A and B are shown apart, each in its own frame.
Chain A
């Protein structure tokens, strides 16, 4: 506060000064001290004494407001330490400067606080009053620059932050003051150009740092911006003093004033990493494209393994930017790798063999890992076949299937200094993986081709018809057997063409069965007719089954057909045989039931007839009292009639017995002569009744035979009875017993009606009756002879007959000798 004015200006000026001070926008103050401060004391001591003894003696309102007061009053008497922050080094510096400048300062800033504790920045001008080496007072003015200062601080802070951000973002900043031609480079920018922070950069130096190829364009974009003020962004390379090249992204703009460039501002970012990544991506893309192309190319040439290998090798070499390479493949014996194919400097190595662990390829084989050699000449594993100076760098990549190495792709650079980079090795590994799969598939393909070939050869020579269908049910193959049978070409039969060879009546069922079995993957067997080349349909038996690959993958169906026409015919015969047999069985069964019926019927018929026989017999034999002769005669007729019925029943029963096979012979050795005598004696009475005679001609000595006496006796009785019945009264019957070499014969010859030729053949048939004048009279069931023959047959003998109509009949019983 203008103490000077207060003290000096009295009178006229006094009021004007008071008004000036009062209305001044600047703070005006007067500081006095309790005790004067000696100026010879050290500065720090003086400053300490100032804080101790100085106080505000006077001030104007502007001053008070600067400290947050409405009036001057509370301000007066405040100690210096209440106003200045003693600990703030800036205040110390301010007071120091005041002392050092001879207690006179202008435009110096002080950092203070107002009554609210808010920081305040003041620009001070002050003058000290020194008398006799003692500072006794000071007065000055101060302007509040707090707002200005705070803006500056904020600006500085933001600049600092920007700087930090730029640094953190590895951004370089440069500002070119066009009019002054001053170029500012941030430290970071210098580092981006490979410079030291201390290096000075001017425009000339800058132009030299840009890659010469990029300089013209860099210049052009900046010039363009200087004309238009437009923002620019450009990537360019810079050359570091060490010779390395780096990629930078430069962005910036010119600031124009009245159409003239004033300044150009720019930021720069190092984009080496991005460029590298881009390059890698591009390369990877190239590699992938190569892989894809390789796969395509290879798949086209799958039938030719050399072509596949050549493609793989060319692609690999192209990928690695070389023309020199070769592919080793594993030998059959798995002892060597042999160069199968080679290009460039390796061409002459085709056929070269290497063992496990030897050289580059041998090591790759052993370790199952890629191996890149940068300096082949000085490599410990160098092969003698490559003298120094031939191969610069080499790389080997294993080809492996299911973890087993099957070969090695090797590439070389014969130029010194070139070598295979990691990413190239990686890409080649990928290619090798692809190639491995391809080679495996190729091998499988070749094997399947061979199998197919073998199968076809076999199938064509097989004596059956073979067909093969794919997974869509379509037939893909018919063997020679089928084609020769149908007389059609393969092209006509494949797909569903074969359907035309099937009999139309069988086709629907045939297809249905095939498709049903197919859908369920079940084997099937069916018969149908196939049209033979001559148009004739033949029955075939078709057996089909699903076929599976080595890994259980369903591949379709395979079937074989055999011509079963003959079998079918045989079957038909067999069928008719079967039916015959069945019929026979049925007949046998029928016969049996008939026999049973006869047996039962006979038994049932016998009982009432037996009753009749008993009761009439009782009357005839006196158990019913005496009867007249006529009555007896009548009863006798009834009795005989009943007897005849019983005979018929007996006959029927006997036949049923013999037919059912139930007859068991009770053979014993007997003398046939005595048997014959016996039978004849019993029959004599009957013969006599018809005035017939019966003569036996037999040897004197015994003639023995093994016979069932009862049965043979009945046969003889039957034959004698017939001889009598079918002979007119008065005729003779001769019974002859003859002994032959192997058998004995009993001949019973009559002189009766005889039997005609036709009837003779029917004579031994069941129920056969021969019509002759006597047959109706005699009656009979027609089963006597049938039974007799059966009995003789059971004795392993024969019952024969010879006859001459009207002359007589001779029956011969032939029996084996005992």
Chain B
């Protein structure tokens, strides 16, 4: 990350949280892109080619699951890590994100900024 900043795409419909994550991750030296829903994220994918996507699940327009389905990350962006990051505790839905290519699921409310950074760093290693 010292040499070439890793690219992170934050997909989060809640603007306050999106801003907080962006602030935190930018301060940590990541190149951060934002998307307010699945559709925006999908549009940003070809241009940004993110190393990691912080993906909310419950979103308007296109939710996280639909995004994963449409993006076909394993095929098109095999190196992109996905952190499913939501306040959802519906286990079945969470299982599904894993099946669609999410590498880890973390409850949004359970991570402090530092813990979030730690989690992301772990995934990017």
Contacts and interface: CB of A to CB of B under 8 A. Distances in A.
Contact of B109 (A609, A657, A662): A609
B23 A613 contact: no
A111 interface: no
Interface in A137-192: none
A614 interface: yes
Nearest to B88: A603
Contacts of A611: 14, 16-17, 20
B24 A618 contact: yes
Contacts, number: 61
Contacts of A599: 89-90
A623 B27 contact: yes
Interface string A601-643: 0110011011101110110110100000000000000000000
B113 interface: yes
A662 B91 CA distance: 8
B122 interface: no
B58 interface: yes
A663 B112 CA distance: 27
Given A607-B14, A609-B109, A615 B20 contact: yes
Contact of B17 (A610, A646, A653, A662): A610
A656 B112 CA distance: 25
Contacts of B109: 606, 609-610, 613, 646, 649-650
A610 B23 contact: no
Contact of A621 (B16, B21, B108, B112): B112
Nearest to B28: A623
B75 to A, nearest CB: 28
A603 B24 contact: no
Contacts of B21: 614
Interface string A722-758: 0000000000000000000000000000000000000
Given A615-B20, A621-B113, A623-B23, A607 B87 contact: yes
B114 interface: yes
B58 A610 contact: no
A664 interface: yes
A618 to B, nearest CB: 5
Interface residues of B, number: 21
Contacts of A615: 20
A602 B91 CA distance: 15
Contacts of A654: 89
Contacts of A602: 89
A623 B113 contact: yes
A654 B90 CA distance: 10
A649 B114 CA distance: 22
B91 A614 contact: no
Nearest to B95: A664
Interface string B88-125: 11111000000000000000111011100000000000
A662 B112 CA distance: 28
Contacts of A649: 109
A618 B20 contact: yes
B107 to A, nearest CB: 8
A311 B89 CA distance: 105
A609 B87 CA distance: 11
Given A614-B17, A614-B20, A623-B27, A606 B87 contact: yes
Nearest to A666: B91
A607 B16 CA distance: 10
B91 A607 contact: no
Nearest to B115: A617
Interface string A650-693: 10011001000011100000000000000000000000000000
Interface string B1-42: 000000000000010110011011001000000000000000
A650 B110 CA distance: 10
Contacts of B110: 646
Interface in B40-58: 58
A711 to B, nearest CB: 11
Contacts of B108: 606-607, 610
Contacts of A653: 89
B112 A617 contact: yes
Contacts of B23: 618, 623
Nearest to A654: B89
A613 B112 contact: yes
A610 B114 contact: no
A646 B20 CA distance: 18
A151 B64 CA distance: 149
A653 B29 CA distance: 36
A657 B93 CA distance: 13
Interface in B76-92: 87-92
Contacts of B17: 607, 610-611, 614
Contact of B114 (A609, A617, A646, A663): A617
B16 A623 contact: no
A618 B17 CA distance: 12
Nearest to B26: A623
A606 B17 CA distance: 12
Contacts of A650: 109
Given A603-B88, A662-B91, A623 B14 contact: no
A621 B114 contact: yes
A734 B108 CA distance: 34
| Residue among A603, A649, A650, A662 having the largest count of chain B Cβ atoms under 10 Å | A603
Contacts of A620: 112
A614 B110 CA distance: 10
B113 A617 contact: yes
A617 B110 CA distance: 11
A609 B110 CA distance: 10
Contacts of A607: 14, 17, 87, 108
A657 B113 CA distance: 28
| Residue among A618, A657, A663 having the largest count of chain B Cβ atoms under 10 Å | A618
A641 to B, nearest CB: 14
A501 B23 CA distance: 91
A254 to B, nearest CB: 142
A637 to B, nearest CB: 15
A663 B91 CA distance: 8
Contacts of B91: 657, 662-664
Interface in A260-298: none
Contacts of B16: 611
Nearest to B91: A664
A607 B109 CA distance: 7
A442 to B, nearest CB: 87
B4 to A, nearest CB: 23
Contacts of A618: 20, 23-24, 113
A349 B105 CA distance: 118
A614 B23 CA distance: 11
A603 B112 contact: no
A611 B89 CA distance: 18
B113 A614 contact: yes
A603 B87 contact: yes
Contacts of A663: 91
Interface of A: 599, 602-603, 606-607, 609-611, 613-615, 617-618, 620-621, 623, 646, 649-650, 653-654, 657, 662-664
25 contacts: A599-B89, A603-B87, A606-B87, A607-B14, A607-B17, A610-B108, A610-B109, A611-B14, A611-B16, A611-B17, A611-B20, A614-B17, A614-B20, A614-B112, A617-B114, A618-B24, A620-B112, A621-B112, A621-B113, A621-B114, A623-B23, A623-B27, A646-B109, A654-B89, A663-B91
* Pairs A-B, 9 closest by C-beta atoms: A606-B87, A617-B112, A614-B20, A610-B109, A617-B113, A621-B114, A606-B109, A611-B16, A610-B108
Given A599-B90, A653-B89, A664-B92, 9 more contacts: A602-B89, A603-B88, A603-B89, A607-B87, A610-B108, A614-B24, A620-B112, A662-B90, A662-B91
